[in-house]
Chains A and B, each alone.
Chain A
Amino acid sequence: MIHLRFARAFQMGIKSLRLHPLRSMLTALSVVCGVGAVIAMLAIGEGASFRAQEQFRSLGSNTIVIESIKRAVTKESQETNPIDRYGLTRLDLVQIHETIPDVELSVPVRDFRKDVWHKSRRYTDGKIVGTEYFFADVQNYKLARGRWICATDGVRGRLNQVVVLGSDVCAKLFPLEDPLGQTVSIGTKTFTVVGVMANQGGVVERKKLNLADLSKNVYMPLSTLSAYFGNIEVVRGSGTETRELVELKQIIARVADLEQVLPRAGAITHLLEKNHPEGDFRVVVPLKEIRQAQESARNFTLLLFSIGAVSLLVGGIGIMNIMLATVTERTREIGIRRALGARKIHIVMQFLIETLVLTTLGGLIGVLFGVCSPWWVPVIFRGQIAIVRVMTIVPSFLISAGVGILFGLYPAWRAANMDPIEALRHEWRAIEPGVVAWASCPWFSVTGETPVLRIGE
């Protein structure tokens, strides 16, 4: 039975702590640093993880990109077959779409290098990309102005000569004027610009995955591309000229269920391996990269959390040290309390509550400090962002209280287990006895009646 009420004990704890304000403050500071560090470190880890995910997410986390790759061409084969035919086919596209479950969209892409002209300006870095309506959707690619190619653009018989420009192409060809409604020339053909794409993030990440930079592309319906430019691409190197026939350069598949992305990618690989035993394709899964980024971010967070936890531990040890000193210093008080009827549990509670008051106050300030980390972290660590999750705050605070209990328990236990007789004998600062004028002994009856004060009797 613990009679001592908590609120009262809390009050007493604060009172005792206020006897040594500097000592109490320094002790609490160790918890402030510990808890603050834990929250801030978790926030920095969270920030890093968020950034990594955000970057890869722009690639589309639920997409699978299948690309044609050129296999090694032997001289013989080149002689026997002047046109190098490799890569993905429309058959693959249909098979993927029809046989792989959960694939909600599959978009064909065909591209080739060709200069794009507007009046006297020339853009040489780009690619002409023929694709279908859902390309932008699947790639999470946003329009800046105008419109995207639409379903009717590619309808046979009314092949609209329209293009949509990537942001880089647009910036180079139309540095000043409004591109919409203007024309560009590709080869001998002229096309009307109907839209301009927005800048898409994740350029670095795309490069990492060996995917082309979307901003350097000029988009048109796949049927238009085939109709005007044919299926054979002539690649001119230094002193060589090869002719390539690649039906589809890319197939982008979107999987409905995020959880199914990796297994479906495996299934697609399996399917294509049968169609292409020579292995002239590759499967890129951005999700895999996102997962990897998450994984490394998690490790980073764990590392940072460990650092925070160590500082909290050090704070806890400091608290234990101080409390042990306090217990020794207050041995006499413990003896008095025991003599006057305090049970061991009362003494344990008294010191434990004192420690708890210290650590929870320190913890609260530490939480404030940590919660403010999104503001101060970018100032101290350039380019680093911090994101505080609400679910880290409460546990951190509870951990600080836990540290108080953990490291306060031993000193409190020591205090409670002192021999009261020994404790009473313990020296403390001598209190000088004084003299006081005193008329008489006021006293009272002990029979339980109303006490009567009788001064001057």
Chain B
Amino acid sequence: MEVVVELVDVYKHYLMGGQTVRALDGVSLQFRRGDYYAVMGPSGSGKSTLLNLLGCLDRPTQGQYLLGGTDVSTLDDDQLSGVRSSRLGFVFQSFNLIPQLTVVENIEIPLIYQGVSPRQARARAHEMAAMVGLSERLEHRPTQLSGGQQQRVAIARALTNDPLVILADEPTGNLDSVTQHEIMDMFDVMSRDGKTIILVTHEDDVAHRARHVLHLADGKIVRIETSEDRRRRMGLAGGTA
């Protein structure tokens, strides 16, 4: 499978209170199409920084970031916006839907910023809403939806531009366990359909769904284990699907 995400010796340093914080300290990694990675690590390990970099919300201090073969670490602000709207899908912990917009309007936002005509964007948003089972609630506002429904809207929004990579930041952090499973099932389906998923979490059973778990500590990759390694390590071989 082709490599869609490649970080080459990436550093991200912040200046905080006169001290340099090494949020990422020489990270190199490759994600291929269809990869499903969970990123774990204690707070301050650089998870969020990594996700922001991968999400083109931030630029590395040093190193290269190749997304779909193009070096995005040198792009300017507008070009990064373009990359975000065309190649990336975001799913956040707190859903991050815009409250004054309806479900369908929230879903079509990335398309609108891509420059898709309003009519096409609307049609695509309708398809997406139908796919996440919310075609009955197109004109509802986020506040009129349950948490699980809101996250489904967010997932539809993340998929509406057919992105290369889906970036999820604790997507189930605000949900109860039943809804959590439903949302994670959706991630499984996305992965099966060939989407590259990078999911930050601190919950073991969420990370457990991913095929690889990437452990970060102090801005460095400590180890990458496959789900088999993990099952073996935790003595759960042959466990849940």
Binding site for B on A (CB under 8 A): 1, 3-5, 8, 15-16, 19, 332-333, 335-346, 420-421, 424, 431-436, 438, 440-448, 451, 453, 455
Contact = CB atoms under 8 A, between A and B. Distances in A.
A443 B174 CA distance: 22
A103 B97 CA distance: 82
A340 B127 contact: no
B81 A338 contact: yes
A442 B176 CA distance: 20
B84 A434 contact: no
Contact of B86 (A341, A420, A443): A341
B204 interface: no
Given A332-B96, A344-B77, A455 B133 contact: yes
B110 interface: yes
| Interface size class, chain B | 35 or more
B146 A433 contact: yes
Given A346-B113, A438-B148, 12 more contacts: A338-B81, A340-B157, A343-B81, A343-B113, A434-B146, A436-B147, A438-B179, A446-B194, A451-B127, A451-B130, A451-B131, A453-B135
B92 A424 contact: yes
Given A1-B115, A340-B157, A443-B131, A431 B143 contact: yes
A444 B128 CA distance: 9
Nearest to A433: B147
A4 B94 CA distance: 26
B236 interface: no
21 contacts: A1-B115, A16-B100, A332-B96, A333-B98, A336-B97, A339-B57, A340-B110, A342-B85, A342-B109, A420-B57, A421-B57, A433-B146, A435-B178, A436-B179, A438-B182, A443-B190, A444-B131, A445-B193, A448-B162, A451-B131, A455-B133
Contact of B148 (A424, A435, A440): A435
Contact of A442 (B57, B133, B179): B133
A446 B115 CA distance: 21
B84 A431 contact: no
A95 to B, nearest CB: 81
A342 B162 CA distance: 17
B118 interface: yes
A438 B175 CA distance: 14
Contacts of B115: 1, 3
A315 B218 CA distance: 52
Contacts of B52: 421
Interface in B134-152: 135, 142-143, 145-150
Interface of B: 52, 55, 57-58, 77-78, 81-82, 84-86, 90, 92, 94-101, 109-110, 112-115, 118, 127-128, 130-133, 135, 142-143, 145-150, 157, 159, 161-162, 174-176, 178-179, 182, 185-186, 188-190, 193-195
Most buried by A among B101, B112, B142: B112
A443 B134 CA distance: 12
Chain B interface mostly = helix
A311 B93 CA distance: 47
Contact of A340 (B99, B109, B133): B109
A346 B58 CA distance: 19
Contact of A8 (B86, B118, B176): B118
Nearest to A15: B100
A443 B90 contact: no
B20 to A, nearest CB: 18
A441 B189 contact: yes
B108 to A, nearest CB: 10
B223 to A, nearest CB: 27
B182 A434 contact: no
Contacts of A335: 96
A432 to B, nearest CB: 7
Top 9 nearest A-B pairs (CB, nearest first) are A341-B85, A433-B147, A434-B146, A3-B115, A341-B113, A436-B146, A443-B189, A343-B81, A341-B84
Contacts of B157: 340
A341 B114 contact: yes
A455 B136 CA distance: 13
A424 B57 CA distance: 10
Given A442-B133, A446-B159, A446-B162, A431 B193 contact: no
